[in-house]
Chains A and B, each alone.
Chain A
Amino acid sequence: MKVTIVDYNSGNISSVINSFKEVAKDKVNIEVTADLNKIKSSDKVVLPGQGSFKSCVDALNKIKGLTEALNEFAINDKKPLLGICVGLQMFANIGYEETETKGLGWISGKVSKIDNQNGKYKLPHIGWNQINLVKQSKIFENIENNSHMYFVHSYEFLPEDKNVISATTDYSSDIVCAVEKENIFGTQFHPEKSDKLGLKIIDNFINI
Chain B
Amino acid sequence: MLKNRIIPCLDVKNGRVVKGINFVDLKDAGDPVEQAKIYSDGGADEICFLDITASNENRDTIYDVVERTSKKCFVPLTVGGGVRSIDDINKLLNCGADKVSINTAAVENPKVVLESSKKFGSQCIVVAIDAKKNGDKWEIFTHGGRNNSGLDALEYAKKMEDNGAGELLVTSMDRDGTQIGYDVSLMSKIASKVNIPLIASGGVGNLDHLVDGIKLGNASAVLAASIFHYGKHSVQEAKEYLDSKGIPVRI
Q: What CA separation (Å) do A55 and B98 show in the bound complex?
A: 18
Report the separation of the CA atoms of residues A148 and B4 in the bound assembly, to the nearest whole angstrom: 12
Question: Which label, helix, strand, loop or mixed, suits the secondary structure of the A interface?
Answer: mixed
Q: Considering the chains assembled together, what is the distance between the CA atoms of A208 and B71 in angstroms?
A: 24
Contact A50 B96 (CB under 8 A): no
Q: How large is the interface on A (under 10, 10 to 19, 20 to 34, 35 or more residues)?
A: 35 or more
A167 to chain B, nearest CB (A): 15
Mark out the residues of chain A between 151 and 204 whose CB falls within 8 Å of any chain B CB in the assembled complex.
151-154, 170-171, 192-196, 198-199
Distance in angstroms between the alpha carbons of A117 and B71 in the assembled complex: 38
Decide: B195 and A119 in contact? CB cutoff 8 A.
Answer: yes
Choose among A14, A123, A199 the residue with the greatest number of B CB atoms under 10 Å from its CB.
A14
Which residues from 115 to 161 on chain A have a C-beta closer than 8 Å to any C-beta of chain B? 116, 119, 122-130, 148, 150-154
Contact status A14-B195, CB under 8 Å: no
Q: Which residue of A11, A18, A148 is within 8 Å of B3 (Cβ)?
A: A148
Identify which of B5, B119, B124 contacts A127 (C-beta below 8 A). Answer: B5
A64 to chain B, nearest CB (A): 22
Q: Nearest Cβ distance between residue A179 and chain B, in whole angstroms?
A: 20
A129 touching B95 in the complex, CB below 8 Å, given contacts A22-B74, A119-B195: no
Give the CA-CA distance A119 to B196 in the complex, in Å: 9
A12 touching B94 in the complex, CB below 8 Å, given contacts A126-B197, A127-B45:
yes
Which partner residue on chain A sits nearest B67 by CB separation?
A: A14
Answer yes or no: A19 CB below 8 A from chain B CBs: yes
* Complex interface: chain B residues within 8 A of A119 (CB): 195
Give B98's nearest chain A residue, CB to CB.
Answer: A15
Q: List chain B residues, Cβ under 8 A from A11.
A: 93, 120-121, 124
Compute how far the CA of A52 lies from the CA of B97 in the bound complex, rounded to whole angstroms: 19
A193-B2 contact given A12-B93, A50-B121, CB 8 Å threshold: no
A123: B residues at CB distance < 8 A:
195-196
Interface pair A12/B98, CB less than 8 Å apart: yes
User: Do B45 and A19 touch (CB < 8 A)?
Assistant: no
What residues of chain A lie closer than 8 Å to B40, measured between beta carbons? 195
Identify A124's interface contact among B75, B96, B123, CB under 8 A. Answer: B123
- In contact, B197 and A127 (Cβ under 8 angstroms): yes
B51 at interface by CB-CB < 8 Å: no
Pairwise interchain contact B74-A199, C-beta atoms closer than 8 A: yes
B174 smallest CB distance to A (angstroms):
25
Given contacts A122-B220, A127-B45, A193-B75, contact A51 B120 (CB under 8 A): yes
Task: Look across to chain A and name the residue whose beta carbon is closest to the beta carbon of B196.
Answer: A122
Taking a contact as CB atoms under 8 Å apart, the answer to whether A129 and B98 are in contact is no
Identify which of B196, B197, B250 contacts A128 (C-beta below 8 A): B250
Q: A residues 1-37 with Cβ under 8 Å of B?
A: 11-12, 14-15, 18-19, 21-22
Quick check: A126 and B96 within 8 Å, CB to CB? no
| Docked-complex contact B124 and A12, CB < 8 angstroms | yes
In the assembled complex, the Cα of A93 lies from the Cα of B176 at a distance in Å of: 49
Instruction: Tell which of A15, A52, A195, A199 touches B96, judged by Cβ atoms closer than 8 Å.
Output: A15
User: Hey, which chain B residues are within 8 Å of A55, CB to CB?
Assistant: 121
Q: Are B74 and A50 in contact (CB under 8 A)?
A: no
A115 CB → nearest B CB, Å: 13
B: which residues have CB within 8 A of A? 1-5, 40, 45, 70-71, 74-76, 93-98, 119-124, 166-167, 195-197, 220-221, 250
| Inter-chain pairs besides A127-B45, A193-B74, 9 sampled, C-beta below 8 Å | A11-B120, A12-B120, A50-B121, A122-B195, A126-B197, A148-B250, A150-B75, A170-B1, A195-B75
Closest 5 CB pairs of A and B: A51-B121, A12-B93, A128-B250, A152-B123, A148-B250
8 A-B pairs whose Cβ atoms sit less than 8 Å apart in the complex: A124-B122, A127-B220, A128-B2, A128-B5, A128-B250, A192-B74, A198-B74, A199-B74
